[in-house]
Amino acid sequence: MPIYEFICGDCNVKSEILLRDTSAKAAPKCPRCGNSNMKRIISRFAYHQSEQMRRDSTASSIRDAATGGINDPRDIGRSTEAQLNSMGIDIRNGEHAERFAGVRDMIDKARDGDMSILDKKED
Q: Give the C-alpha distances (Å, rounded to integers) separating 57 from 52, 62, 63.
A: 9, 9, 10
CA dist., res. 37 & res. 106, Å (int):
53
pLDDT for position 75? 72
CA–CA dist 86, 89 (Å, integer) = 7
For the ranges 33-47, 55-69, 96-110, which has the lowest average pLDDT? 55-69
Task: Indicate the pTM of the whole model.
Answer: 0.36
Beta bridge partners, 17, equal 4
What ranges do the domains of the chain cover? 3-41, 72-115
Over residues 67-98, the pLDDT tens digits come to 555 556 667 777 778 888 888 888 888 888 88
Q: How far apart are the first and last CA of the chain?
A: 53
